[in-house]
Amino acid sequence: GEDVEQSLFLSVREGDSSVINCTYTDSSSTYLYWYKQEPGAGLQLLTYIFSNMDMKQDQRLTVLLNKKDKHLSLRIADTQTGDSAIYFCAESGSFDAGNMLTFGGGTRLMVKP
Amino acid sequence: GAGVSQSPSNKVTEKGKDVELRCDPISGHTALYWYRQRLGQGLEFLIYFQGNSAPDKSGLPSDRFSAERTGESVSTLTIQRTQQEDSAVYLCASSLARGTEENTEAFFGQGTRLTVV
């Protein structure tokens, strides 16, 4: 079955860039997503990328997709303490799969002042 | 409502009891998903409803778990004879029908934190 892997933890200093990495196994993935989960809150969709794209930029967020290596990354520029959260990578297959998401285990980002 | 609503937000139950969790999706969203998130782990897919089609139950971990959805509205997830390993946050999400890039976003509720003691 599909598998999505992420490193567990990342610590950065405020103002630095953060890069969170994700690998996936399903070659038929159509969309890849980054979700943010803050303590006690639900999941918030940050951004997503279609599988025929290499890069997507949205303000401080840059998503890079290497489809050949099945590697996805999320770069947060000028990281702030408010960015401290757990970040989940997720993928969904074809539309026939109903956009069912397969999630990674999450990367806990800690931003030090 | 404006977003996906789940109730209760917290539930503590005794081992062996049945529990029912409720999800109100965003109005007009035909797709509804249930996920489970154990402490410190990622989300596990449980079940998916799309319109009037037969649900995809492939993620349900045992026959103690079941879910229903009436049309394109409320869904309930029922766990019978709860066990301690059922303790988790149960998240519901909804999205518009598949077919276009704009429809791809799944909106999540706040979740129900279930604790089985």
List, for residues B27-55, the tens digit of each pLDDT value: 988 889 999 988 877 889 899 998 888 89
User: Exposed, middle or buried: residue B16 (CB in 10 Å: 0-12, 13-18, 19+)?
Assistant: exposed
B62 to chain A nearest CA, in Å?
A: 18
Residues in A touching B101 (Cβ below 8 Å): 50
Neighbours of A103 (CB within 10 A): 21
**pLDDT tens digit sequence for A82-95:** 999 999 999 887 54
Strands (DSSP E) found in B43-111: 43-50, 65-69, 75-79, 88-95, 107-108
Say which range, A14-18, A56-60, A70-74, B92-96, has the weakest mean pLDDT: B92-96
Read off the pLDDT band of B22 (50, 70, 90).
very high
Percent of chain B with pLDDT over 70: 92
| Three-state secondary-structure class, residue A97 | helix
Q: What is the mean pLDDT of residues B76-82?
A: 98
pLDDT of residue B42: 81
Is the distance from CB of A90 to CB of A33 less than 8 angstroms?
A: yes
HSE (side-chain half, CA atoms, 13 Å) at A46: 26
Instruction: Write the DSSP symbol of residue B96.
Output: P
Under the banding of pLDDT at 50, 70 and 90, the label for residue A107 is very high
The Cα B26–Cα B36 span in angstroms is 20
3-state secondary structure of A81: helix
Residues of chain A with Cβ-Cβ distance to B111 below 8 Å are 42
| Spatial contact of A102 and B57, defined as CB atoms under 8 Å apart | no
Spell out which residues of chain A touch residue B99, defining contact as CB-CB under 8 Å. 95
Q: Any idea which residue has 């797709």 for tokens?
A: B31
Question: Which DSSP state fits A94?
Answer: -
Give the CA radius of gyration of chain A: 14
Q: Work out whether strand A85-92 and strand A31-37 pair parallel, antiparallel, or are unpaired.
A: antiparallel
pLDDT at A98 (0 to 100): 54
| Block residue for tokens 């149960």 | B90
Q: Which has the closest alpha carbon to B94: A29, A104, A45?
A: A45
Residue A92 in contact with partner chain B when CB distance is under 8 A: yes
**Distance to chain B for A23, nearest Cα, Å:** 14
